[in-house]
Amino acid sequence: MNRKFFIPFLTFAFFQILIFSLSGCGNKSVKQETWVAPEHEAITRQMPDLELTDSTTLGGHTYVYSILRTPCDSLEKVKDDMDDLYLDNTIRLTLHRDGAVYFDHTFTKATFAPSIDKGFYDNAILDGIRFLHAEAGQGLVFSFAVSYPDSDMSIPFLMTITDQGTFTFVKDENLDHEEGDSVFYDADGV
């Protein structure tokens, strides 16, 4: 074999072997990792217990109202769009007239069920209550809300409690009351 031809041939062959051996080793140190998003853990949330006592006058009588909102684990839980569960609430309203109890009732979302469409009802909780005003010839007027948890979507109700201790309610179509806005977590309600 000709020496002129042999040296370039060996040089070429040597570099080919070197390139193949280096390219074969290159991928061994690279690890392929797959990122998996963590699953959302459903948790059970609840609103805090709230208690409020205040008073008003009507027709020469002093009325003291006590409101107690309590999350209740015996009521059906509500699931939001993130699959978090929420405890529904009970609201106990006790009214005293001149020192004597004349009304004591615990309300649940079921109280308002006849006035709520099933789709909303199944995804909502009894959210809050507030005293609105005392009205001569009518009684004490309170505002209740049934709401989607942690949202502004709610159905407000007006409830009138008569001097005889009976109550009636209607959907609140007028959200602009003189006593303030319809926020349920202010000084006049829970």
CATH number at residue 157: 2.40.128.510
Quote the pLDDT of residue 184. Answer: 43
Domain count for the chain: 1
DSSP 157: E
For residue 94, give its domain range: 44-171
Q: For residue 95, is it within any domain?
A: yes
Considering only CA atoms, which of 122, 125, 118, 107 is closest in space to residue 169? Answer: 107
Q: Counting Cβ atoms within 10 Å, is residue 27 exposed (0-12), middle (13-18) or buried (19+)? A: exposed
The residue written with tokens 């829970």 in the block is 190
Q: For residue 49, is it within any domain?
A: yes
Quote the pLDDT of residue 9. Answer: 62
Quote the pLDDT of residue 34. Answer: 74
Q: For residue 56, is it within any domain?
A: yes
Q: For residue 27, is it within any domain?
A: no
Alpha helices in 60-138 (DSSP H): 118-122
Q: For residue 176, is it within any domain?
A: no
Mean pLDDT by 10 residues, the chain (190 residues): 58 62 55 68 87 96 97 93 91 97 97 95 95 95 95 94 95 67 43
Q: For residue 69, is it within any domain?
A: yes
Q: For residue 71, is it within any domain?
A: yes
Quote the pLDDT of residue 40. Answer: 64
